[in-house]
Chain A
Amino acid sequence: MTVEEKQLTSTRRPEPDTGPAVIASGQTFAQVTEQISSTPLLRRRIPGLWFISFALGLIFTFVLLYSATYLLFRGVGILGIEIPVAWAYFITDFVWWIGIGHAGTLISAFLLLLNQSWRSSINRFAEAMTIFAVMCAGMFPLLHLGRPWLFYWILPYPNTMTIQPQFRSPLVWDVFAVSTYFTVSLVFWYLGMIPDLATLRDQAKNKFVAKIYGILAWGWRGASRHWRLHETASLLLAGLATPLVLSVHTVVSFDFTIAIVPGWHSTIFPPYFVAGAIYSGFAMVLVLALPIRHVFHLENLLTERHINNCAKLMLATGLILAYTYAIEPFTAWYSGNEYEMYMVHNRAFGPYAWAFWGVILCNVVVPQLLWFHRFRVRTKPLFAISMVVLYGMWLERYMIIVGSLHRDYLPSAWTNFIHTVWDNAVTFGSIGLFITLFALFVRFLPMISMYEVRELLPFSRPGGGSEK
């Protein structure tokens, strides 16, 4: 056995040769570096669509600022919430945004543990999506507090009031779960980006730009001992983030299941919420990836295989969700509980029947198109299906929250929820904030992991052939 053969067999990550290539062939290290670093370093024109999205995002961010300021000034009375529907748009938005974040962690952590090399070109921006989605999500419970400026009362700290949080409440668990999720996602994302920030530092012609990226890169020099630590750390963080992501939406679902409201008090909620979260997250990944791929000409790195795999995962999680939709009425019927049975009937035929049938249409019926290959790989239909799923998932949370609360145990308390312009303003404003943050990310940071793409090149392994 020659040295080369021995080295080939000791390669840790064998490339399973199935389906279309992960990335297009015939690329060199320098080309990968140039292609990905040219946008943050302004070596090529920023596409017009970027400016349009950034401007739109900024306009809606100002809508958010304006409405949030007005909300702080006037109080939550400007929203449509009323007893018994004390939770409505804001909690829907919170659950929706948190859920969207989950696919990012799933792609970066879960697929890393499973050695899925195709994740390499999409993990960076999927993680960015997670962070921005969690930022949008975290805003809502705070704004929903009667006095948001006292939000820190929910944290355990020694205080002159000598009061403390109540740890048997899922709302306190939520604070810990969401803040942990944000911190861990941020750390995972940033640690993964350090080698690429060092590339930007070394590629930058402008001294000032080089200095900024240099500070962010901590002095990374690609030493093999550092790489080993970096890889160990990535695996450890992936191993930590995978159970974390499942726990976060489980805890979010506890906000509902621990209460005894019919339609909420159900043991199926944790897996139901996690599946829905990943489902909407993959829809958001596609909504972001499809235009970026087209506008920034990344077809060689974000290949048909990525798009196809994301669409398949979306279909799979969508089917899990469809199953839970089917199980819910069964559980209600089997329990023999009249409140539960009324809830199921009221959900499908009551005042919010439109939401229920909308959910079925958007989350169950339309995504069945993904069984067909052409809907999974063609940009426009897939983008449209993903948008439908995103809307459907928002509607699902609305159906669960408002649809359960508006018919309380006491018929004398029954009311319907009527949203106000401020509910919508903050909701659309949060989408604006998300778009703005994402546009800034695409402009200033390497949106595809350069070092992981280099590892996918055929000559990246010693003995694997030469670049020339």
Chain B
Amino acid sequence: MTTSRLYGIIAEFDDPTPLVDAARVMHDRGYRRMEAYSPYPIHQLDEYIEPGPKLPPLVLAGGLLGTATAWAMQFYIAVIDYPTNIGGRPLNSWPSFIVIMFELTILFAALTTFFGVLVLCGFPRPHHPVFEAPRFRDATNNRFFLCVEAEDPQFDREAVADLFSELEPLEVTELAAE
């Protein structure tokens, strides 16, 4: 189709079952650099498509940073920067600091989760080679796509296209790299 550099070969399916079958076949043949596109999460794909980076450790770190920030801020203000005698209580009356420590733990962890997803997904990414696939708009509606990327060490244009054609896709397309 095109002589320019390839991003990969993408196949379109109209049902999740052939998509998962295709992912399994490709995985069995040793392809690892591939990605499925679906209008909702399909957990069966997890077996065949290698996971990306992990979010939970980041979120834990964010939460702990929130706890530490809240304690440090309150300790600094209440003990060092602006000590006030409230009913003779100790300046470092830490039990009353717990509430804000809790709140900032949640706040920092939640913001880390949100921005973590955006960063780990590589967003914002308004343009991507897969958007060029025909009918890819329906990947957010009722179509399912599997793309084997050209960066895969054993990628071979004909072999991948042949494998796909055995899996009864609606269409197989070669995608140009950006």
A residues neighboring B (CB under 8 Å): 3-4, 7, 10-12, 28-30, 33, 156, 162-168, 170, 172-173, 176-177, 180, 183-184, 187-188, 190-191, 195, 198-199, 201-203, 214-215, 218-233, 236-237, 240-241, 243-244, 247, 251, 254, 450-452, 454-455, 459-464, 466-467
Task: Please measure, in the bound complex, the distance between the C-alpha atom of A203 and the C-alpha atom of B135, giving whole angstroms.
Answer: 11
| Interface-lining segment among B1-9, B108-116, B157-165, B168-176 | B108-116
Instruction: Please indicate the chain A residues that have their CB under 8 angstroms from the CB of B59 in the complex.
Output: 236
B106 within 8 A of A: yes
A165 in contact with B77 (CB, 8 Å): yes
Instruction: Please indicate the chain A residues that have their CB under 8 angstroms from the CB of B17 in the complex.
Output: 4, 462-464, 466
B106 in contact with A180 (CB, 8 Å): yes
Write the nearest CB–CB distance from B122 to chain A, whole angstroms: 8
Instruction: Please indicate the chain A residues that have their CB under 8 angstroms from the CB of B15 in the complex.
Output: 459, 466-467
Q: List 20 other contacts, CB 8 Å, given A173-B100, A240-B110.
A: A3-B24, A11-B44, A33-B39, A162-B82, A167-B100, A184-B107, A184-B110, A187-B113, A187-B114, A191-B114, A198-B140, A220-B140, A222-B38, A224-B42, A224-B49, A228-B41, A229-B52, A229-B117, A233-B55, A462-B19
Q: Which of B36, B81, B84 contacts A223 (CB 8 A)?
A: B36
Instruction: Kindly list the 9 A-B residue pairs having the minimum CB-CB distance in the complex, ordered from nearest.
Output: A29-B142, A219-B125, A202-B137, A164-B82, A227-B41, A218-B123, A225-B52, A462-B20, A199-B140
Task: Please measure, in the bound complex, the distance between the C-alpha atom of A218 and the C-alpha atom of B74, giving whole angstroms.
Answer: 37
Q: Which of A3, A164, A172, A460 contacts B16 (CB 8 A)?
A: A460
Given A28-B142, A180-B104, A237 and B124 touching (CB < 8 A)? Answer: no
Instruction: Please indicate the chain A residues that have their CB under 8 angstroms from the CB of B14 in the complex.
Output: 467
- Chain B residue at minimum C-beta to C-beta distance from A243: B106
B38 in contact with A224 (CB, 8 Å): yes
Write the nearest CB–CB distance from A170 to chain B, whole angstroms: 8
Task: Please measure, in the bound complex, the distance between the C-alpha atom of A99 and the C-alpha atom of B127, giving whole angstroms.
Answer: 42
B residues neighboring A (CB under 8 Å): 14-17, 19-21, 24, 35-47, 49, 51-52, 55-56, 59, 63, 73-74, 77-78, 81-82, 84, 86, 89, 93, 96-97, 99-100, 102-104, 106-107, 109-111, 113-114, 116-118, 120-121, 123-128, 130-131, 136-142
Task: Please measure, in the bound complex, the distance between the C-alpha atom of A227 and the C-alpha atom of B52, giving whole angstroms.
Answer: 10
Write the nearest CB–CB distance from B6 to chain A, whole angstroms: 18
Instruction: Please indicate the chain B residues that have their CB under 8 angstroms from the CB of A231 in the complex.
Output: 41
- Chain B residue at minimum C-beta to C-beta distance from A172: B100
Task: Please measure, in the bound complex, the distance between the C-alpha atom of A237 and the C-alpha atom of B38, giving whole angstroms.
Answer: 23
A223 in contact with B37 (CB, 8 Å): yes
B96 in contact with A168 (CB, 8 Å): yes
Task: Please measure, in the bound complex, the distance between the C-alpha atom of A462 and the C-alpha atom of B46, giving whole angstroms.
Answer: 13
- Chain A residue at minimum C-beta to C-beta distance from B115: A187
Instruction: Please indicate the chain B residues that have their CB under 8 angstroms from the CB of A11 in the complex.
Output: 43-44
A219 in contact with B56 (CB, 8 Å): no
- Can you name 17 A-B pairs with beta carbons within 8 Å? A10-B47, A33-B141, A166-B78, A191-B114, A195-B40, A195-B140, A218-B124, A219-B127, A233-B55, A236-B59, A247-B106, A451-B39, A454-B39, A460-B16, A460-B40, A463-B17, A466-B17
The dominant DSSP class at the B interface is helix
A29 in contact with B141 (CB, 8 Å): yes
Write the nearest CB–CB distance from B148 to chain A, whole angstroms: 13
Given A166-B86, A223-B36, A466-B17, A202 and B103 touching (CB < 8 A)? Answer: no
B142 in contact with A156 (CB, 8 Å): no
Task: Please measure, in the bound complex, the distance between the C-alpha atom of A228 and the C-alpha atom of B118, giving whole angstroms.
Answer: 13
Write the nearest CB–CB distance from A6 to chain B, whole angstroms: 9
A156 in contact with B137 (CB, 8 Å): no
Instruction: Please indicate the chain A residues that have their CB under 8 angstroms from the CB of B74 in the complex.
Output: 167
- Chain A residue at minimum C-beta to C-beta distance from B63: A240
Given A167-B78, A202-B137, A202-B138, A233 and B114 touching (CB < 8 A)? Answer: yes
Write the nearest CB–CB distance from B48 to chain A, whole angstroms: 9
Task: Please measure, in the bound complex, the distance between the C-alpha atom of A196 and the C-alpha atom of B65, giving whole angstroms.
Answer: 32
Instruction: Please indicate the chain B residues that have their CB under 8 angstroms from the CB of A215 in the complex.
Output: 126
Instruction: Please indicate the chain A residues that have their CB under 8 angstroms from the CB of B73 in the complex.
Output: 156
Q: Which of B20, B84, B93, B103 contacts A247 (CB 8 A)?
A: B103
Instruction: Please indicate the chain A residues that have their CB under 8 angstroms from the CB of B63 in the complex.
Output: 240
Write the nearest CB–CB distance from B80 to chain A, whole angstroms: 10
Task: Please measure, in the bound complex, the distance between the C-alpha atom of A236 and the C-alpha atom of B106, giving whole angstroms.
Answer: 10
A232 in contact with B56 (CB, 8 Å): yes
Write the nearest CB–CB distance from B92 to chain A, whole angstroms: 11
- Chain A residue at minimum C-beta to C-beta distance from B53: A229
- Chain A residue at minimum C-beta to C-beta distance from B110: A184
Task: Please measure, in the bound complex, the distance between the C-alpha atom of A120 and the C-alpha atom of B123, giving whole angstroms.
Answer: 25
Instruction: Please indicate the chain B residues that have their CB under 8 angstroms from the CB of A195 in the complex.
Output: 39-40, 140
Task: Please measure, in the bound complex, the distance between the C-alpha atom of A244 and the C-alpha atom of B106, giving whole angstroms.
Answer: 7
Task: Please measure, in the bound complex, the distance between the C-alpha atom of A40 and the C-alpha atom of B100, giving whole angstroms.
Answer: 39
Q: Which of B51, B102, B136 has the most CB of A within 10 A?
A: B102
Given A167-B96, A168-B86, A219-B123, A462 and B16 touching (CB < 8 A)? Answer: yes
- Chain A residue at minimum C-beta to C-beta distance from B96: A168
